[in-house]
Chain A
Amino acid sequence: MSVTVELTYDMSKVLGTETFEVEGVATVEDIIRRTREQFGAKGEEFEKLTRVTAIAVNGVLVNYRRGLKTAVSDGDTVGFVKASAGG
């Protein structure tokens, strides 16, 4: 399975990429763990940022589903979301 992960700008500066693919994951929690493992020290900094960031699967916050246990499938996009205000 391949899931696309889209990062916030702050995260992208930490990991050096705006987006990447992850395979062999079943939940959002798996993605965070796999990313932390893959990027070493940067991965730890990334994980800290996930604690203050909402997470969406295909645009829908995981809060409205099963939180970090929300399942992901092939072709899904997992996006990290910061609160903002516009005009």
Chain B
Amino acid sequence: MIKGYAGRVLEVDLATQTYEFKPLDESIARQYIGGKGYGTRLLYDTTPAGIDPLGPDNPLIFATGPLNGSVAPQSNRFAVVCKSPLTGGIGNAACGGAFAYGMKRAGIDILVVKHQSERPVRLDIDGDKSEVKFLDASDLWGKGTYETQEILGKRKYNAVIGPAGENKVLYAGIVSNERIAARTGVGAVMGSKRLKAVSATGSRKLEMDDEEAFKKYTAFIRDHFRDHPMLGDRLKRCGTAGIVSTTNARNILPTHNFKYGKFKDAMKISGDWMEDHELVGVKSSCMHCPVTTCGRDVNVEGVGRVKGPEYETVSLMGSNLDIGNLKNVSEWNYLADDMGMDTISLGAVLGFAMELQERGMFNAGLTFGDPTGVSEMIKDIAHRRGVGNELAQGTKRMSEKFGGIEFAPHVKGLELSAYDPRGSYAQGVEYATTNRGGCHVQGASMYLESVGPLTINPQSLKLKAEIPVIQQNLACAINSMVLCIFTTYGIIPKAIHEMSPNSWKYKLMATAFENSGPLMRWAMSIKGKPMLWFEKWLTYVTGTTFSSGHLQEIGARIFNLERMYNLREGISPAQDTLPDRILYEPTFKGMTSGHPLDKLLPKYYKIRGWDSNGIPKKSTLEKLQVAI
């Protein structure tokens, strides 16, 4: 067995209450690494087209990668893969909670949960004994994720759902500690199985091919991260909400249901403001990531100290609702986490509901800029009560029922995250083409054009088809190792962060970058020696050489497999688009329209090796060894 893997896949059948340990398929592991790559391959191969995402035939796949269980920073995460009930296409999400560590300690690379239980159940996995207990969870059913995890105890590593998952809210997530595998409704699938929680324990140690080299190199990289302006300073000091001031100044902070890109009270919901006014105690981090510590704790009245909101939440449940009060956002963030819901989709749904209300199209009882009723609505959504039952369906279904399709902020049914693509063209292409829908962490193109330390003109067409392809491929590989995407923020060296953005040197570098399309694609495709830390970690752990070119190829393979899955499930290329508001309503002075997707999509398809209709060519699939 390749080092880094436990070598086991655990299949659990909730209907028959049986389980089986099977060997990991090494050939799949070599081609797809693990995480969402392995999970997608399994999903494609073991399910027919057209299954009901909330029916018994949709498997819920928990997947780790070969670095999970090591002490590498940002490595302790697990992925979840299934057919998405929100989009009808590929569903996947990742989470930084300790369940990944539990799985690897239990000696399990992949956990496949099949069919449905008749009654609420939880799984207790003892990896050392190779034993799975099916325990009655009726006493936990209805409880929030915080209380559920408290009851299960800290001696085990747990993945749980809250009431939102139990009630199959289409954007319910799966929670582990204070983190959540949020997107695409993976929690609803878990709820459809009446599976409340999975716990895993064991004492297996991760075996590495060259442990000494791994440890030595990891110590070096920890110092590099600590010294890095973004990973060791900015993110550490202000968390992800520190980006609010950046997106606001660049006119891409979603405001008033994505109608505007600028919010008058942005500063009051920023990470900087949180640092000075709301932060309490020690800042939190995922297991084995002591360097970045991007999480932070706040006080919620009536509850006490809890994990505070991230950027996506302060934007989509703050500026997007015209709310400039961190206390409100913190309370709603806590509620969403406790109910087990994706705050991105939730915030976008609330904003959409507010605009429908404003236009007299739907009575949600919610108003922009007014926090009244929002807390109650979050609970109503989680329990599918009254109007909450409509909002639990997501913006796509709401718009089909009540109108407002042109300003419903989703792509393929997945609500947009908090970077307005009218000021970030590559991000817009990424939103339109990412297989799971309107997502930013399966590429993060905006870092290179709108928010990072070295950015190209976000409203030029140059590189805007190339960047999403490279970033999506890299992100696919990263997500299959199940590393945190923040690991890629360390790629831009300290010297560039310290360069004056107004200097001629900076302008020269940005210009060179902007004109580097073919060179960049060639450089990223080279299969040479591992250079970056995640390439080296993977090489030291598995004994197989991984370089930029290897990861781009694996990433492209995974991306194309996801694409083929979506096509099989009826997600046509016609859905490679953006909401009309984003395409046609300008937000920048002097502009007459929105995002120029029509100018960029053909080139994107060509770079991908797809035909003009957005279908992967046979030659591309063969070259990438994507078996269909």
Contact = CB atoms under 8 A, between A and B. Distances in A.
Given A51-B500, A87-B485, A81 B250 contact: yes
Contacts of A60: 251, 459, 588
A12 to B, nearest CB: 7
A85 B243 contact: yes
Contacts of B270: 9
B272 interface: yes
Nearest to A6: B249
B107 to A, nearest CB: 30
Contacts of A82: 234, 245-246
Given A53-B501, A56-B251, 4 more contacts: A59-B251, A59-B262, A76-B589, A87-B485
B232 to A, nearest CB: 12
A85 B267 contact: no
Nearest to B460: A64
B451 A85 contact: yes
A46 interface: no
A85 B249 contact: no
B364 to A, nearest CB: 28
A59 B252 contact: yes
A25 interface: no
A54 B501 contact: yes
Sort chain A's interface into a size bin. 20 to 34
Interface stretch (B502-510, B571-579, B609-617): B502-510
B234 A84 contact: yes
Interface of B: 230, 234-235, 238, 240-243, 245-252, 261-262, 267, 270, 272-273, 294, 310-312, 418-419, 423, 441, 447, 451-453, 455, 457, 459-460, 485-486, 489, 497-498, 500-502, 506-507, 510, 587-590
Given A9-B272, A64-B457, A83 B230 contact: yes
A81 B262 CA distance: 13
A27 interface: no
28 contacts: A52-B498, A52-B500, A52-B501, A56-B250, A59-B250, A59-B262, A61-B455, A64-B459, A67-B507, A79-B248, A79-B250, A81-B249, A81-B250, A81-B501, A82-B234, A83-B230, A83-B451, A84-B230, A84-B243, A85-B447, A86-B240, A86-B312, A86-B418, A86-B451, A87-B294, A87-B310, A87-B311, A87-B312
B267 A18 contact: yes
A63 interface: yes
A55 B441 contact: no
Given A59-B261, A60-B459, A63-B507, A83 B441 contact: no
A22 interface: no
A40 B400 CA distance: 58
B247 A86 contact: yes
Contacts of A68: 502
A63 B451 contact: no
B245 A9 contact: yes
A85 B451 CA distance: 7
Given A12-B267, A58-B588, A68-B502, A87 B441 contact: yes
Contacts of B312: 86-87
A84 B246 contact: yes
A68 to B, nearest CB: 6
A63 B452 contact: no
Nearest to B234: A84
Nearest to B514: A64
Interface string A38-73: 000000000000111111101111111001100000
A18 B276 CA distance: 15
Interface string A8-50: 1110100000100000000000000000000000000000001
A27 B251 CA distance: 20
Contacts of B497: 83
A56 B249 contact: yes
Nearest to B423: A59
A11 B544 CA distance: 49
B591 to A, nearest CB: 10
Given A9-B245, A53-B501, A87 B240 contact: yes
